[in-house]
Amino acid sequence: MAGAGLRAAAGCRWLRLRGDDVPGWQRATAASSCQGCGPSVPNPTCAGSSCPGAHCPGASVAYSSPDPAAQQSAAPGPAAQSPEPSAYLWSRYREMRKLVHDLLPPEVCNLLNPAAIYANNEISLGDVEVYGFDYDYTLAQYSDSLHSMIFNTAREILIQQYKYPGEIRKYDYIPDFAIRGLHYDVQKSLLMKIDAFHYVQLGTAYRGLRPVPDEEVIDLYGGTQHIPLYQMSDFYGKGPSLKQFMDIFSLPEMALLSSVVDHFLAHRLEFDQTHLYKDVSDAIRDVHVKGLMYQWIEKDMEKYILRGDETHAVLTRLVNHGKKLFLITNSPFSFVDKGMKHMVGKDWRDLFDVVIVRADKPNFFTDRRKPFRKLDESGVLQWDKINHLEKGKIYRQDHLPWELQAGFLPADTSSRPPGGGQSPGVRDRLGRGPRSCQGNLFDFLYLTGWRGSRVLYFGDHLYSDLADLMLRHGWRTGAIIPELEKEISIINTEQYMHSLTWQQALTGLLERMQTYQDEESRQVLAAWMRERQEIRSITKNLFNPRFGSIFRTFHNPTYFSRRLVRFSDLYMASLSCLLNYSVNFTFYPRRTPLQHEAPLWMDQLCTGCMKTPFLEEMVHIR
């Protein structure tokens, strides 16, 4: 069992390395501080090496160590005692390298399961009676090959309709150019990654396709890398000058925006930054509004829709356990219907109690002014009150102008009747859809009685799908983050684990040893600082060479991560992860210690410091 060795090893060390059992040099480490417990306050029960933060060594970090001894011998040697401060610092450095090297069990790598569900908040699925879903990138996961098609089509729209230079055709889609959650400063044409404290992560600011020097970024923001609150994006990711790219469709948008800016800068063409941003956004939106993307998907669902059989398995399993299901999506019915038939079968609507299409999220969650309302056979609005939502009917938020509500236009406006049978001839004023109604979530709650923690809603957009439900309505929420699969595969590598662990250990050394301020010691500390910076860049680049992980800016959580934690109880790579858990499973978030707390929680002592869903412990219940 992958985790057992680590847990047993951790437990043994904990019991062994206490008080008088601690060898001399380890006792010194424990008495001064430890990596896991903090830098300055001695912890008599913590022997440094046994603390959760110090388990993992940095023996295989792919860079050159500044240690003079290490340059002569690759293997970490015993601590050399010397009265010289700089020699003492290097001896502590080697001790830490050895400690980290010796204490890393081989099992520590490849521990995280990309098919696991991660909890921000405790939640018991046994309490959940009603499951709600978004459609795009939630029930239906799409192939990345869509991105290059969106990029190429929007690029052509810019050339043909917006009269941009044809030379921008030389720019092809760069698949890993950007990551989700980045911010764009429209006035400065800067694409950048911002952390949870509103600081730009240095080294991650790009204008066009080229990096912007850190000094220039700092200069642009008045001598700081901090972005003031009034400039930041608002609740839904849109600020006066900064926009946040939050959905997966925005990956081709960021790539196109950067390509066009790059062209103008390279040719010294004067351009209006606001116009350019808006034109690119509109061109990307046109790909959706004109229904092109829907057509591509409908034409080859086998190619573009991923994990369809697993979505089917999730839905049928929930229904078989007595759960109620509903769907609220911004996409049009005809598109959803075709996709669901492909994934689930022609009777897919039998699984759902309520289906609402073109919902105009997030307005659907916040606007009370549009009650559900029936349309008669000729599409005329009726005055009679809606007292319940009928299973088998399709409901639609239909506030005009509907094209602007979600940026979507149906590829097929002759929407199908429930179950795909004969059309009942029910059409709205625009001649679309089966029986259509207006609506909002307040009425939805009133009509269904589905309130609070009985309801768990899944979506991929932190703002449009999850924020209001979590903050205003008290539903439980699950975020679908497809990037998690790739990020976990990187975290599982030996290189990442070694780099990160040694980086943490070195940071602890820097913090503790900064009191040595003689000239030689300062040079040692400067060398450590350079090494730390090098490792930080290495670990960042493992995820994305320009922007790193979507979850971290070096040590801090990203702005995206902060929102993820705030707006979701659970997060996972795909809906199919639910198949790995019982329908009564309770998710307990790890108690991550606050800065003033010792990480000595019993759950971590019992299961090891790396309490994660271990690969071989995952029970696959399908």
Closer to Mg ion by Cβ: residue 134 or 279: 134
* Residue 159 CB, nearest approach to Mg ion (Å): 29
Q: How far apart are alpha carbons 534 and 536 in whole angstroms?
A: 5
Phi (first) and psi of residue 105, to 5 degrees: -75, 145
Using alpha carbons, select from 244, 160, 274, 154 the residue that is nearest to residue 464: 244
* Nearest Cα to Cα of residue 326 among 441, 414, 415: 441
Closer to Mg ion by CB, 140 or 276: give it. 140
The 12-41 site mask, x for binding Mg ion (CB under 5 A), equals: ------------------------------
The active-site residue, picked from 21, 67, 127, 134, is: 134
**Minimum distance from CB of 2 to Mg ion (Å)?**
34
> 33: which residues sit within 8 A by CB, 6+ positions away?
39, 40, 41, 42, 43, 48, 508, 512
Q: Phi/psi zone of residue 463: left (φ > 0), alpha (ψ -120 to 50 degrees), beta?
A: alpha
598 φψ region: left (φ > 0), alpha (ψ -120 to 50), beta (else)? beta
- Angle formed by the axes of helices 85-103 and 494-513, to 10°? 150
Q: How many amino acids of this chain bind Mg ion (CB under 5 A)? A: 4
Which letter does DSSP use for residue 241 in this model? Answer: S
Nearer to Mg ion, 136 or 360 (CB): 136
Binding flag, residue 569, Mg ion (CB under 5 A): no
241 or 366: CB nearest Mg ion: 366
Counting Cα atoms < 13 Å in the Cβ hemisphere of 577 gives 25
Smallest gap from residue 246 Cβ to Mg ion (A): 11
Q: Which helix (H) or strand (E) holds 350?
A: none
Segment lying near Mg ion (by CB under 5 A), choices 21-29, 128-136, 413-421, 450-458: 128-136
User: In the bound complex, which residue of the shown chain has the CB atom lying closest to Mg ion?
Assistant: 136
Please identify, using beta-carbon distances, which residue of 288 and 349 lies nearer to Mg ion. 288
Q: How far apart are CA 117 and CA 461, in angstroms?
A: 17
Which two structure tokens, joined as six digits, stand for 380?
């005329």
Tokens of 296: 């591509």
Question: Would you say 251 or 509 has its CB closer to Mg ion?
Answer: 251
Cα–Cα distance, 200 to 186 (Å, whole number): 15
Q: Residue 460 annotated as binding?
A: yes
Closest CB 459 distance from Mg ion, rounded Å: 6
Tell me which H or E stretch contains 27: helix 24-32
**Amino acid at site 349:** R
Binding flag, residue 337, Mg ion (CB under 5 A) = no
Is residue 107 part of the contact set for Mg ion (CB under 5 A)?
A: no
Closest CB to Mg ion among residues 109, 406: 406
Closest to Mg ion by CB, 136 or 569: 136
Work out how close the CB of 481 gets to Mg ion at its nearest, in angstroms, rounded to a whole number. Answer: 12
* The residue type at 59: A
Listed ranges 49-57, 74-82, 134-142, 255-263: which one lies at the site for Mg ion (CB under 5 A): 134-142
Distance (Å, rounded) from C-alpha 136 to C-alpha 406?
A: 13
Is position 134 annotated in a ligand binding site? yes
Report whether the peptide linkage leading into residue 401 is cis, meaning its omega lies within 30 degrees of zero. yes
- Is residue 127 flagged as an active site residue? no
Tell me how far, at minimum, the Cβ of 464 lies from Mg ion, in Å: 8
Report how far residue 397's alpha carbon sits from residue 416's, in angstroms, rounded to the nearest whole number.
17
Segment interacting with Mg ion, rule: CB under 5 A, options 136-144, 206-214, 227-235, 606-614: 136-144
Q: How many CB atoms lie within 10 A of CB 269?
A: 9
Shortest spacing between CB 72 and Mg ion, in angstroms:
57
Nearer to Mg ion, 136 or 286 (CB): 136
Contacts of 77 (CB under 8 A, 6+ apart): 69, 94, 98
The minimum distance between CB 461 and Mg ion, in angstroms, equals 5
- The alpha carbon of residue 127 and the mean position of all alpha carbons in its chain are separated, in whole angstroms, by 26
Cβ atoms of residues 41 and 512 within 8 Å: no
134 is catalytic: yes
Instruction: Map the footprint of Mg ion across residues 432-471, applying CB under 5 A.
Output: 460
Residue 398 is labelled as binding a ligand: no
**Residue from 107, 134, 195, 483 in contact with Mg ion (CB under 5 A):** 134
136 touches Mg ion (CB under 5 A): yes
- Which helix (H) or strand (E) segment holds residue 492: the answer is none
137 touches Mg ion (CB under 5 A): yes
Task: Tell me the closest approach of the beta carbon of residue 526 to Mg ion, in angstroms.
Answer: 48
**Gyration radius (Cα) of the chain, Å:** 28
Among 393, 385, 382, residue whose Cα is nearest residue 354: 393
Question: Catalytic residue among 20, 67, 127, 136, which?
Answer: 136
Binding site for Mg ion (CB under 5 A): 134, 136-137, 460
Which residues are known to be catalytic?
134, 136
Residues annotated in a binding site? 134, 136, 460
Residues annotated in a binding site for GMP? 136
Residues annotated in a binding site for Mg(2+)? 134, 460
